[in-house]
Each structure stands twice: as C-alpha cells, then as structure tokens.
A and B are shown apart, each in its own frame.
Chain A
Amino acid sequence: MNTRSQFAMFRWIVWRDMTLAWRRRTDALSTLFFFVIVVSLFPLSIGPETQLLRSIAPGVVWVAALLASMLSLGRLFANDYVDGTLEQMLLTPQPLYLIVLGKVLAQWLVSGIPLIVISPLLGVQLGLSQESLLMLAASLLLGIPVLSLIGSIGTALTLGLRGSGVLLSLLVLPLCIPTLIFGTGAVEATLISASPEANIYVLGAVFVLTVVFAPWATCAALRISLE
C-alpha cells in the first residue's frame, strides 16, 4: 500500500509538471531554439570549412546542450517555490527523494528529449557522418539526465537568491565537466573510427551514480533553502 501510494505520488508529480510545461509551451520551445541558435553561431564565427566544423561538432553540440539545460533548470523549482507548492511538497509524508526525481524526470521529458531529437539535425549541418550522429544522440540521451540531476542540486541551493541564474551556472558547470568529456569523447571516437565503448560505459556509470546520489543532495539543499 505504502509503495503504491509512493508510486502514485511520483506519477502525479511527473504528470503535473508535464501539464504545467504544456500550458507554458514557449518556455520549452525557447530553450530548444536557444540550443539551435548557439550551435548555428559556431559556423558563422569560425568559418564554413567542413573538415574543421566536423572536428569541433561534438564539442559544440555538447556545450550548447549543456548551456541550454542550465537555462531550463532555473525553472525546475522556481515557480513552485514562489507560489508555495514546494513547501507543501516538503510537508507530505511521501519521500522528498521521489518528488525530486519526478520533477527532474518531467524536466528531462519536456526540455531534454527535444534537444536529443533535434541534435542529429544540427550534426548534419556540421557535417557529421551517420554513425557519429547516432552516437551524438545516444551520448546526449545518457548525458542530459546527468546534467539535469547535477543541475538540480545547484537550483535547490540557489532557490530565491538574487542573481540565481548566473550563480547556478557558476556552481554547476565545473561539476558537469566529466560528463562533457565522456560525452564528447564518445562522439569523437566515431570520428576517427575508434571504439566509443569505453566513453559510453563510463558515461553510463556516471549516470547511474548521479541518479542514485544527486537527488539526496538536492533534498538536503531544498530543506536548507526552505528552512
């Protein structure tokens, strides 16, 4: 019974956040367009040589995805914090861990999936081969949840502070560096026809570790911020 009610809570959180996001479609869409525009800026600033663009493509797409997810993470708890819903959530008997996980999952479905879906298109623009495109999407599929989970710690810590958007990036970006290295490493391996397995496995390990541990830190941070 207890487990069932916890699962119901989890489902409710995901459903609720997705409904809210659907009613404010422009938020998710603007994140997506931010991602597309940032990637398009690189050929314009570096020059249209295909060889050069192909070699920087993994890094460019990954960094743009990282920045775009930082942008969308600011909204993860902010609205619920302002209208007091977050405080009520902290008071429920259901574990906060599941609430945080549900919110991050909803965030990923709303903002992360569109980024992953559109990333091969941007890869084509930068001249990536088919194999690299698949690997790009696969690495983002594993990597973006990690970025969201690490980012959720920063969001919870900076809740309600002045200038929290810039501060969030300052706190979270250094912690995201390993994910960035392994994600781009996997795509770059396909460029030189090496095996991307090692990078993907390590990225998978980082993913599992963050899924287990990051929500705890986020819960602690939320309790501190809402004290």
Chain B
Amino acid sequence: MIPLIQREVCDNKKWMKEQDILEIVAIAESTPGPIAINAATFVGFRTSGFLGAALATLGVVLPSFLIISLISLVLTEFQSVRAVQYAFMGIRAAVLALILKALWMMFKASKKNAFSYFIMAAVLVLTAFVKIDAVYVIIGCGLFGLLWSLLMRKEHSDDTA
C-alpha cells in the first residue's frame, strides 16, 4: 500500500515530499496499529490537520468495512453447506502456513541477541501455555526493555568514565 500512497500523495497531488513518506513508514512501523491506518492518519494530518486525518482514516477503513460486512452476511447464509465446510477445513491448514511465514518475517527483522531470544521465548510460554492476558505481557516487555536499556547505558558510561 505504501507505493500507492507515495504515487498519489507525492507525484499526483504534491502534498508531501518523497522523504516524508519514508519518515511515515518508519513511524507507522514502530507505533501500534495497522501500518495502512497509521500512514493514512499521518498523511491526512500533515496535509490538512485534524479533519484531514479523520477523513483520510475513515477513507482507508470504509472499503474494508463494507466488503467484510457483505462477506459476513453471505457467509452466515452458506455456513451449513457441506462443500463450504470442507473448503474451510482445507483453508485452515493454509492459514497455518501464512502464520508461519509471518513468524519467520518478524523473526528475521528482529535483533539476534540473547535479550531478544529471551523475550520471544518468555512471551510464547506466558501467552500460549500460562495463558496470561497478552496485554500485561507486552507491557511487561516494554518495561523490561526500558529498564534493560537504562542498565546498559549506565554500564556503558561507567566503562568510559
């Protein structure tokens, strides 16, 4: 979706510079929420303030919303058909492969050190087996990361002092 935004916003409408788009991608990836939504909000805000942000976000959400609502209605209608049930049995196995790919992509993009591996394993155990609400686990990880980076910096400044 990012190349699409770039073409519309930079080349066609000349609302922003190419460099701004890179900045937006960086922000969208390091803040919560879908990247597409974050990018739309940011472009909208930079271009015409709060109202722009609200309208751009609404614009990007509305098509998905309408399509999904429609599919939901159709799905309820056909749920009891045997062929549909068989189709979904097959599809579920394929979804597992999509999740595996997402896992691999995120793993590849993350830092490869003991601290990282420890958090990955701890989160997996706590959410999959101990079944703690993921929200608390993620807050814990954030605090742990903050504490860790403070300790590291202190150690580092002690070394140089």
Are A and B genuine complex partners? no
